Amino acid sequence: MRDVRPFKKVLPLKMIPVKTNAGIFLLEFSPIGLCSVRFPTASDRRTPTRCDIGHLVGVKWFRERVPLDLSDCTLFERRVYLALRKIPAGKTVTYGELARRAGYPGSARAVGNAMKKNRLPLVIPCHRVIPAAGGIGGYSAGKAWKRFLLDRELRAARNANSRN
């Protein structure tokens, strides 16, 4: 059976701006749940140094209690996104490894396409996916954001481990 997108897309009904020192993020909600996280616009965007939105979507209560609207995602995309949400903060995975974890070995390129379509960056942490050949790869908000998020998560994970 072909893996196709549902015909009807639920449009966001509620938009919540979240001010941070790195600009204004926009959280969009449908009746089903969170359907989009938008980074600050290019004119509003600043170089990230510290960002409260990363903390907001990284905290456990947000991840567990805010429902996600994945109604316009294919089954493949949903499985990839759910597998990605299991990757802990401070860790990275290659596109190929994520494909394997989602049950689609050999589909690294398709995983890359799913990451490109991800409307919920930070919540579905596509910044944790890197190329097998090295480097950090691309990111919808730019490489500076990806580097910032990876460094921030790694520092937080190290700090948590040093306290234990």
Active-site positions? 126
Q: Which of 125, 114, 119, 116 is nearest to 57 (CA)?
A: 125
Angle, in degrees to the nearest 10, between helices 108-117 and 75-85: 90
End-to-end alpha carbon distance in the chain: 48
Q: Do the Cβ atoms of 98 and 91 come closer than 8 Å?
A: no
- Alpha-carbon dihedral of residues 49, 156, 154, 18, nearest 10 degrees? -40
